[in-house]
Structure 1
Amino acid sequence: MFGTGEKRRRRPSSTPTPTTRQLFMERFALDEQATDGWSCSYTDALTPLRTIKHNDLFLVCDALGNVPGSCRTTSMGLFCADTRYLSRLEMRLNGEPPVLLSGSADAGFAAAMLLTNGSQNALKPDTIGIRRHIVLYGALFESIELTNYAVTPAEATLSLSFGSDFADLFEVRGFHRGKRGEFLRTKGALPADTLILAYRGRDGSVMEGRIQFAHPPDRLTDHTAEWTFILKAHQRVEMQYRMLLLLNGESASFTPPPATFEQARATAHSEQQGWRTGITQISSDNDLFDQALERSTRDLFLLRLTMPEGRSLAAGVPWFSTLFGRDALITASQTLLLDPTIARETLKLLAHFQGKQDNPWRDEQPGKILHEVRRGELARCREVPHTPYYGTIDATPLWLMLLAEYYAWTADIALLREMWPHALAAMGWIDRVCAGQTGPLAGYLAYSRQSERGLANQGWKDSDDCIVHADGRLATGPIALCEVQGYVYAGKMRLAQLAPLFGEEEHAKTWYQQAQRLKERFNEDFWLDEQDYCALALDGSGLPVDGIASNPGHCLHTGIFTREHRREVAERLTAPDLFSGWGIRTLHSLSPAFNPIGYHTGSVWPHDNSLIALGLRSVGAVPQMLEIGSVLFEVAQSQPSFRLPELFCGFTRSEYDTLLASYPVACSPQAWAAGSLFQILQAMVNLVPDAPGNCLRIIEPILPTWLSHLEFKNLRVGTSVLDLRFETSGSATSCRVANKRGNLRVIVEA
């Protein structure tokens, strides 16, 4: 229909060659009508939206499948390479918007809408049935079917209006630029089946949306295509098009686009089904819980991201649909029981980008794991430092922890050997930063911003106002976060166990001794005797940041607390000022800085709670763990599509009964939210893999009262694959191996 699909090419450099630029300037001229100034805000209208994504493309549209032309200050549009290629996509029938009958985006990569005509046109209401299907696969594909359900012929004019502001995602989020690039118009006549939107960025790169219609429009004016049909009774017609997204003449997407809508839909579906057959299949006797798990599984597939350098998961749509070090590492850890290949791919991709030089603009140092990669115009023009940006204090120790966890699940000695030089480089970075601290912070992993465009706070709570003292004062840097010290402790302990595999006994001894000294100092310096709780951080003067927050809960599963302190932290986390009834807040409600709508100052994050639940299980606080797991399940049930949100407001549950307040600009879907239920399951069934020792221990599994049966099929540990069945009888939970392929020893410790 459209000819052969483009072959995948190596991504061009950010500046076109003279030959490439000359070619584009032969085709395009400056569009003086499209260079009007504009600005964007971060606020979305409270309109029900549909989100579909495939690899590096995503579309946010309204319930009709439209992107209104007024959307420039919202997250709506078609995005690729951190650029909005489509800021208007409006379908009308006889000049009026259609009426929604039903719609779904459950496939993840596709949306389907059933529509009809309204009463404000020449047709009788509900005369024309409209089936609208949109698919993403290396490009945008759409199929529109019109059916006349009247007993007499009907005239229907279908129109599609297109437009693009080619805004960088940072601009959509509110970044204001002094000057933008230039909108272009084509020189000469275009084929009757083609419409082109084009823009030249300030770096000289040309971005182009090329719309190719399978059925040429009857009229094409001002970026609006129209078709007029005389439909006989019960006659059906179909119209299709695809929109290619180009950067300097080559596909902006890392997925080669196929030729037709049918090929795009079939290939995307085949990819999804192929992935589903290779992962662990989880089911229970609770249908609602199964639906929540199914949604999380679909979202994890949806967030998969392929780059020329490798594969991982994008952090979330719309704002963070790119590689984030911390988010990818935590999600990969959460989902080891589902699919260990996520961890493998993430480790390799982040190792590829590991810091190689001292670059203050990007907060880069040798051995450091990145924070975020961007590929839009602002990054290409060096207006933002995300090429990549390394301003994260915790991604490097989290990378070390994931490497050890992945090896425990898989015994993949080949990958461990390949990653070992990167592990040494990461540990070297940690040791240099710790040694570079002075005074009371000496020996702690602390951060302070280097880049003028970088983040002030560089832990998982990275908003400007989240690291606060008990009186509400902001902490000043450098800042040593409590959970980061726990990650360093766990990283050193776990790598000390792996070092002898490579004859690194001296490293093993050194790391073990460093970990023990860190644990001793940490329990002295971070402990708040009056509060019987752990400090959020140490500030630049070495004083404890005594705001009561959720961060110490992340320390529980690292093993850095003494026995007494871990018990006190576990008890404190579920006190009413921290536990809202829907989950543990980021900051307790008695703080002067508390704001239940604050991003990190009182809201509730599912991934934060799942990490805490895992820690509670590791220290024996099983009832608290089950309570957190249960409320997260309730949160998922409360959502229209059973999707755990990135975060939600921290209002007290008893004040609003069953009301769960959503967060206005949360990502949906979001990776570590999608991984949270799997981490909760891991906490419940308590799988302890030792693939190198050919053993799986299942230690005191326990199911909540709302689950009496849980089954894992196709669970991979090392080279073995097994099926497990968990059942409750009274207050006891039993486990049996229903099937096993391989010689793995399974030990159930009741």
Structure 2
Amino acid sequence: MSDAVKLTTTEEDLSGKDVDRSKTTLELGERQFVAVDPAEILGWPCTTTPNQQPTLTIKDNDLFLITDTSGNIGGCVDAHMDGSVGLFCQDTRFLSRLELQINKKAPVFLSSTAQRGFALSVLCSNPHLSDDMGAETIAIQRDIALQGGLLEELTLTNYSTHPVTFELSLSFAADFADLFEIRGRQRPKRGQLMRQDESPNSIVMAYLGVDQILMESRVTFYQQPPKIIEGYTAVWQLTLNDHETICLGYRLEPIINNHKASAVDLPTTLKQAVAAETQEEEHWRDSITRLRTDNHALNMIIERAEKDLYILSQTFGEGNVFSAGVPRFSTLFGRDAIITAMQTLVLNPTMARNTLVILANYQGQIDNQWREEAPGKILHEIRLGEMARCGEIPHTPYYGTVDATPLWLMLYADYYNWTGDQELLEQLWDNALAAMGWIDRSLEPTGYLTYEQSSEGGLRNQGWKDSWPCIVDAQGKLGEGDIALSEVQGYVYATKVRMAKLARQKKRLDLAERWEQEALQLKERFNQDFWLPEQEFYALAIDGSGQVMDSITSNPGHCLGLGILDEAKATKVAQRLQLPDMSSGWGIRTLSSKSPAFNPMGYHIGSIWPHDNSIIATGLRAQGHVTEALEIAQAIIDMTNAQEYSRPPELFCGYDRRPNVSPVRYPVACSPQAWATGAIFQLLHMMVNLIPEATTNCLRIVGPVLPESIQHLSLENLHVGNAVLHLEFERSHKATACRVVSKRGNLKVIIEA
């Protein structure tokens, strides 16, 4: 805490067990805070009850808000039972209650939308209140937006033919719960809820953490301040003439140690916030490739995906990268950020550059068992909340991922192919060598890149399928010890091939020849050890005892197109993935429905993930299985078209597709989610098959094929190296033609039928 903070308590240490919290005071400049008992905070009676309600989700940079469809965060819901609602920043819930009442009753819900992504709108009315004020007399429009904080305006209109008088209240509360605490992690102790003495025309909720960091939620009223503030409830006594309209407005700013918690500045009014967000989103759209088709439903999906990628962009240090998803993963994840950047190279290579640089800044430097850090390793996840700051979780950052490091190297090479960015190639070369060094050291014991949990606070499984029951053999038995995943070996092979090419460019022939030889040896070893002759498929993994995890899964599908699979075996993989136990009609399942471990509602043991399918489809395309690739693409597009806001979820349940039955939602899937959103652009890119070679000023377009649902596809503002293109693709009589509409810059476009 800063030198200006003065803490007084009856005990020597606030974190001691026998602290008399009622006598704890804290001075911050001229402001004074006193400890408050949680039982005192509710005060104003609540009207909502805990149940499974639909929600509205909005996000801006490092803030996200989840409310019920009325825009409320109910005060009667146990904070630790319902972690899906609240205002969050830096992995902390800065608002755990936001409840609108009229004469102490819940308004009548009419409609709501969170279509804009960073803002939501709710229309509601009053219930029957008296003989003079029947139901649906007052229209209440709630508009909420995020930018550096939460801003809300309530517009009330009296539609009766006479004046009406009523009471309107807004109740606030902030529990400052850590996101991991909400998700069920037990804490040895918590800090102290505080309140500020004498804060006229404002509400200040505060919490002094175990680490002595003071967090605040400051509510100020900038339009029609309330008549009274009772505890944490603002109360207006209103009289509206017939057809009169009034507007109330406030803003809430999250504060940490007297500094803004968000990387974004808080504007003065809601109107300013909406204007600033709209301008920023327009700037984002102007910077990316514009993909449009003649299919209206698909265009809606594309436009939604463009908007969601903007929403998921989040500031870390000096740049923005894609956070993984809302609500549980609204932070930097190595694997997720890298894969999303790969998927969207066709859209905006700048995000790939930012991802490479920011992850390089966090690259492992030492061996640390708690964080599973090692020199050269790329992080898995970083967290900023109280539990991370206090060392209760290892996410500062946490490095428990086996695949983020080879994926980072693959992105490093792919980004260079798209941009020819020599400056970044040189800037990150030492980071690339460090990453290769970690891979090579990890390969030494078994010849494969493996993982095994070493941190008590870490993950048991450390591939993209990281839930505990997902690495199983054909009998459903869990793998033990060091796990070598099939797709990870494919990533390592691709990394060595691509890095060898870059080494040749840098005149490091020693490295190039070594990596090429190691890639060939890995390929030979992999095809011998992982191939299942009877199943004519590759194993999911090999565990620490040498046991082959012989279940049929989607994992080997990631190896398609990477070059590690023998040609004939790759064809067998492509065919096997299309059988009904793997292909549901909505996409490829994570695990065969014939497995004893199969559960269509399981997170990684039968569900369907859009990003998993887009990677597989891209691999099928590269192997020449175009029809199968297009079938997967169409299935994912159809699934997305059936979702609210035309937004693909993180995952959905792996039930068979049936006529007139929508895909079954996974109850706690993140939405929006980065690599699910990126899958849309990866699938479109797969169709047109662009192969950039920016270093030679060349773009190859190899055998573009549009599905029956798309007759026309255009790509405007496409960046390859320093050139900008406008391409159009037309489907006619099952053939797809490509035309270069315009081109600026030195680039040769080669179209190969």
Please report the TM-score for the alignment, with normalisation by the length of structure 2: 0.94
Query: Which residue number corresponds to residue 576 of structure 2?
Result: 572
2:73 is equivalent to residue 67 of structure 1: yes
2:652 is equivalent to residue 648 of structure 1: yes
Query: Which residue number corresponds to residue 25 of structure 1?
Result: 26
Post-superposition shift, 1:743?
2.2
Q: 1:174 aligns with which of 170, 176, 184?
A: 184
CA distance in 2, matches of 1:519, 1:34: 63
Structure 2: which 5+ residue stretches go unaligned?
A: 9-24, 43-49
Post-superposition shift, 1:186?
2.0
Counterpart mapping for 1:375-386 below 5 A:
375-386=384-395
Letter in 2 for 1:448: E
Q: 1:259 to 1:289 in 2, by over 3 A?
A: same
CA distance in 2, matches of 1:319, 1:537: 28
Aligned with 2:323: secondary structure? Answer: strand
Query: Over residues 455-502 of structure 1, what are the superposed CA-to-partner deviations in whole Å (9 max), with x where a residue is unaligned?
Result: 010000000100000011001120000000000000110011111332
Query: Which residue number corresponds to residue 708 of structure 2?
Result: 705
Q: 2:346 aligns with which of 328, 337, 340?
A: 337
Query: Which residue number corresponds to residue 692 of structure 1?
Result: 695
Post-superposition shift, 1:115?
2.0
2:321 is equivalent to residue 316 of structure 1: no
Contact 2:140–2:154 under 8 Å retained in 1: yes
Query: Which residue number corresponds to residue 149 of structure 2?
Result: 139
Counterpart mapping for 1:491-640 below 5 A:
491-640=495-644
Contact 1:81–1:375 under 8 Å retained in 2: yes
Q: 1:677 to 1:415 in 2, by over 3 A?
A: same
CA distance in 1, matches of 2:171, 2:602: 38
Q: 1:367 to 1:477 in 2, by over 3 A?
A: same
Query: Which residue number corresponds to residue 233 of structure 1?
Result: 242
Aligned with 2:572: secondary structure? Answer: helix
Contact 2:642–2:662 under 8 Å retained in 1: no
CA distance in 2, matches of 1:369, 1:347: 10
Q: 2:681 aligns with which of 678, 681, 693?
A: 678
2:488 is equivalent to residue 484 of structure 1: yes
Contact 1:309–1:352 under 8 Å retained in 2: no
Contact 1:52–1:108 under 8 Å retained in 2: yes
2:61 is equivalent to residue 55 of structure 1: yes
Letter in 1 for 2:617: A
Query: Which residue number corresponds to residue 160 of structure 1?
Result: 170
Two-structure CA RMSD over aligned residues (Å) = 1.5
CA distance in 2, matches of 1:433, 1:614: 28
Aligned with 2:216: secondary structure? Answer: strand
2:737 is equivalent to residue 737 of structure 1: no
Please report the TM-score for the alignment, with normalisation by the length of structure 1: 0.94
Query: Which residue number corresponds to residue 45 of structure 2?
Result: none
Q: Which moved further from structure 2: 17-26 or 306-315? A: 17-26
CA distance in 2, matches of 1:549, 1:45: 35
Q: 1:434 aligns with which of 435, 439, 443?
A: 443
Aligned with 1:728: secondary structure? Answer: strand
Contact 2:225–2:248 under 8 Å retained in 1: no
CA distance in 1, matches of 2:344, 2:662: 29
Q: Which moved further from structure 2: 113-122 or 402-411? A: 113-122
Q: 1:474 aligns with which of 471, 475, 478?
A: 478
Contact 2:490–2:564 under 8 Å retained in 1: yes
Post-superposition shift, 1:651?
1.2
Contact 2:483–2:541 under 8 Å retained in 1: yes
Q: 1:45 to 1:661 in 2, by over 3 A?
A: farther
Contact 1:138–1:255 under 8 Å retained in 2: yes
CA distance in 2, matches of 1:576, 1:382: 47
Counterpart mapping for 1:167-566 below 5 A:
167-187=177-197, 189-191=198-200, 193-214=201-222, 215-435=224-444, 437=445, 442-566=446-570
Contact 1:651–1:661 under 8 Å retained in 2: yes
Post-superposition shift, 1:113?
1.6
Post-superposition shift, 1:546?
0.3
CA distance in 2, matches of 1:177, 1:561: 47
Aligned with 1:496: secondary structure? Answer: helix
Post-superposition shift, 1:541?
1.9
Post-superposition shift, 1:544?
1.6
CA distance in 2, matches of 1:518, 1:308: 37
CA distance in 1, matches of 2:323, 2:490: 25
Post-superposition shift, 1:120?
4.5
CA distance in 1, matches of 2:518, 2:52: 51
Query: Which residue number corresponds to residue 12 of structure 2?
Result: none
Query: Which residue number corresponds to residue 10 of structure 1?
Result: none
Query: Over residues 52-75 of structure 1, what are the superposed CA-to-partner deviations in whole Å (9 max), with x where a residue is unaligned?
Result: 000000000111111111342221
Contact 2:74–2:97 under 8 Å retained in 1: yes
CA distance in 2, matches of 1:22, 1:641: 49
Figure out how many residues of one structure are paired with residues of the other and give that number: 721
Superposition misfits of 4+ residues, deviation over 3 angstroms: 17-24, 33-37
Post-superposition shift, 1:35?
9.1
Q: 1:78 to 1:726 in 2, by over 3 A?
A: same
- Percentage of matched positions with identical amino acids: 52
Contact 1:725–1:736 under 8 Å retained in 2: yes
Letter in 2 for 1:20: V
Query: Which residue number corresponds to residue 715 of structure 1?
Result: 718
Aligned with 2:583: secondary structure? Answer: coil
Contact 2:650–2:670 under 8 Å retained in 1: yes
Contact 2:103–2:129 under 8 Å retained in 1: no
Query: Which residue number corresponds to residue 13 of structure 1?
Result: none
Query: Over residues 270-312 of structure 1, what are the superposed CA-to-partner deviations in whole Å (9 max), with x where a residue is unaligned?
Result: 1111111111111111100000111111110110000225321
CA distance in 2, matches of 1:735, 1:170: 50
CA distance in 2, matches of 1:690, 1:381: 47
Aligned with 1:138: secondary structure? Answer: coil
Aligned with 1:323: secondary structure? Answer: coil
Aligned with 2:520: secondary structure? Answer: helix
Query: Over residues 663-687 of structure 1, what are the superposed CA-to-partner deviations in whole Å (9 max), with x where a residue is unaligned?
Result: 0111011000001111111111111
Contact 2:2–2:257 under 8 Å retained in 1: no
Query: Over residues 217-276 of structure 1, what are the superposed CA-to-partner deviations in whole Å (9 max), with x where a residue is unaligned?
Result: 111112110112211122111111110101111111111212222222211111111111
Contact 1:580–1:652 under 8 Å retained in 2: yes
Letter in 2 for 1:452: E
Query: Over residues 374-431 of structure 1, what are the superposed CA-to-partner deviations in whole Å (9 max), with x where a residue is unaligned?
Result: 0001101100000000000000000000011111111111111111111001000000
CA distance in 1, matches of 2:280, 2:660: 42
Aligned with 2:666: secondary structure? Answer: coil
Query: Which residue number corresponds to residue 105 of structure 2?
Result: 96
Query: Which residue number corresponds to residue 148 of structure 1?
Result: 158
Post-superposition shift, 1:21?
4.9
Contact 1:582–1:653 under 8 Å retained in 2: yes
CA distance in 2, matches of 1:344, 1:34: 49
Contact 2:98–2:171 under 8 Å retained in 1: yes
Contact 2:370–2:455 under 8 Å retained in 1: yes
CA distance in 1, matches of 2:395, 2:6: 25
Contact 1:486–1:555 under 8 Å retained in 2: yes
Letter in 1 for 2:698: C
CA distance in 2, matches of 1:718, 1:35: 61
Q: Which moved further from structure 2: 263-272 or 560-569? A: 263-272
Query: Which residue number corresponds to residue 112 of structure 1?
Result: 121
